[in-house]
Amino acid sequence: MRIPNLLYEFQSVFNTTKTPRSFFAPGRINLIGEHTDYNGGHVFPASISFGTYALAHKREDQKLRFFSMNFTDTGIIECDLNNLNYDETHSWANFPKGVIKYICENGFKISNGMDILYYGNIPNGAGLSSSASIEMVTGVLLEGLYNLTIDRLEIIKLGQKVENEYIGVNSGIMDQFAIGKGRKNHAILLNCQTLEYEYAPIELDNHVIMIINTNKQRTLAGSKYNERRSQCEEALKDLQTELPIQSLGDLSIEQFEEQKYLIQDETNRKRAKHVVYENERTLKALLLLRQGNLDQFGSLMNESHLSLQNDYEVTGFELDTLVKTAREQPGVIGARMTGAGFGGCAIAIVEKNKLDSFRDNVNKIYASAIGYEASFYTASIGDGAREITGGVL
Ligand code: GLA
């Protein structure tokens, strides 16, 4: 995908001849382990080559000026370093504002204002973490511009805090972690309770990971997401009346099956079931990939989707149609939704020499069932958030 001349854009938007520094943070896909992060379980995400670019320059005064080439309608959004409170009229710029606010509150000195231009090539609202990508690119640009040494995990946690406390979505730590710690050609197996993690090389030989966007916008995602989280918390509380566990991620499938009667509400029981089984699938997935057993890995992806469809109920007609159609194509090893759900993207592992027919067939069937087309991207797994050195873009 061609990237526009961002230096030119920066200089004309901010009417300056100054040369800014350039930073990049990727988006992410999650191979498996969905809605397990805020339940103390495991996730298995990877950072992708699409993401958010930010060009930034310090100012002499205390003004912050933000411009996004993805939301040109909102123009330059301006505020002051001394007032970083959430402001609805600041729309998308609340994400970087939140990061700046919390970095200052953690004791790092941001002495001057800045001009920052953002450009993202992650489709918005597609479940590939465009918001965590903006947060993380803002974290690394502050580090770079003000010569700060901030532990990467601290930036990751601040990004999550922005979502939870500043924006009001009670998301887990997966997205910021995958984006902050991503490594080229590797996925990350992360234990969300202890934050221990390991990298697993993704070598798919004759296959590629396709990202398929339902192109359904996820307007209700925030509220439904928070609802799922509370249902899991209620299920956990019921289980804790008898079991000394800290999170649903502590339970094996056997323990869950024996003790699930403790969960009073039937819907909550289904939510917890998904989490426990998905957590075990995620651990199994790592082992299978290590053994090069792609077929079994694909089966786990399929099971994961079914569980998100029937027990967690976060898929919807578009994702289900897409995933079912994808799976029926020759050369497909597995397919599932990725990210929060409620629309957004699916991923499929597809044989390289079947890609064209895969795209054509899936798109045809999807468009006739849904009324509009899907979009297809091949995912390459790239490095995490960083400064782009060696000249601006
Ligand atoms: C969103 C959240 C993550 C995670 C996923 C579901 O991407 O930001 O923390 O909960 O949904 O796995």
* Residue 85: pLDDT over 60: yes
Mean pLDDT value of segment 225-233: 96
Domain count, the chain: 2
| CB 18 within 8 Å of CB 136 | no
Are 158 and 188 in the same domain? yes
What's the confidence (pLDDT) of residue 379? 82
Whether 253 and 374 map to the same domain: the answer is yes
Look up tokens 């993805």; give the residue.
70
For residue 262, is it left (φ>0), alpha (ψ between -120 and 50) or beta? alpha
Asked whether residue 61 falls in the same domain as residue 192, the answer is yes
Percent of residues, the chain, with pLDDT higher than 90? 93
Query: What is the band of 63 on the pLDDT scale with cuts at 50, 70, 90?
Result: very high
Distances (CA, A) of 239 to 59, 157, 251: 54, 28, 10
Q: Where residue 390 falls among pLDDT bands split at 50, 70, 90?
A: confident
Average pLDDT, the chain: 96
Q: How far is the CA of 203 from the centre of ligand 1 (A)?
A: 25
pLDDT in tens, 113-160: 999 999 999 987 788 999 999 999 999 999 999 999 999 999 999 999
Q: Looking at the structure, do residues 223 and 88 belong to the same domain, yes or no?
A: no
Domain range enclosing 257: 203-379
Predicted confidence at residue 126, as pLDDT, reads 87
Range in 260-264, 343-347, 386-390 with the lowest mean pLDDT: 386-390
The verdict on 240 and 303 lying in the same domain is yes
Residues 211 and 308 in one domain: yes
Atom number, ligand 1, closest to the C-alpha of residue 33? 12
Nearest ligand 1 atom, CA 340:
11
Backbone dihedral angles phi then psi of residue 365, each to the nearest 5 degrees: -65, -45
Q: 333 is written with which tokens?
A: 């090893």
Asked whether residue 336 carries a pLDDT value surpassing 90, the answer given is yes
Q: Considering only residues 127 and 303, tell me which one the structure prediction assigns the higher pLDDT.
A: 303
Annotated active-site residue 238? The verdict is no
Give the E-state strand segments of the chain in sequence order.
21-30, 42-43, 45-58, 63-68, 77-80, 114-120, 186-191, 197-201, 207-213, 332-338, 345-351, 375-378, 386-388
Catalytic residue among 37, 73, 80, 175, which?
A: 175
Residue 392 domain-assigned (yes or no): no
Q: Give the pLDDT mean for 208-217.
A: 94
CATH number at residue 273: 3.30.70.890
Q: What is the pLDDT at residue 393?
A: 60
Summarize the confidence of residues 230-254 as an average pLDDT: 98
C-beta 118 within 6 A of ligand 1:
no
Measured CA to CA, the distance from residue 287 to residue 297 in angstroms comes to 9
The model's confidence at residue 219, banded by pLDDT at 50, 70 and 90, is: low
Q: Are residues 254 and 222 in the same domain?
A: yes
Query: Residue 230: pLDDT above 50?
Result: yes
- The residue out of 136, 171, 200 marking a domain boundary is 200
pLDDT of residue 217: 74
Q: How far is the CA of 343 from the centre of ligand 1 (A)?
A: 13
Residue identifier of the C-alpha nearest atom 8 of ligand 1: 171
Instruction: Place 220 in a pLDDT band, splitting at 50, 70 and 90.
Output: very low
Does ligand 1 come within 6 angstroms of the Cβ of 192? no
The verdict on the CB of residue 171 being under 6 Å from ligand 1 is yes
Token pair, residue 205, equals: 């030989």
- Tell me the pairing of strands 77-80 and 332-338: unpaired
Does residue 75 carry a pLDDT above 90?
A: yes
- Clarify whether residues 173 and 237 are in a common domain: no
Mutual orientation of helices 266-290 and 294-310 as an angle, nearest 10°?
Answer: 170
Asked if residues 79 and 29 have their Cβ atoms less than 8 Å apart, the reply is no
The Å distance, Cα 127 to ligand 1 centre, comes to: 9
How confident is the model over 282-300, as a mean pLDDT? Answer: 95
pLDDT digits (tens, 9 = 90+) for 88-126: 999 999 999 999 999 999 999 999 999 999 999 998 778
- Please spell the DSSP secondary structure of 64-85, one letter per residue: EEEEETT-GGG--EEEETTB--
Q: Residue 38: give its domain's CATH number.
A: 3.30.230.10
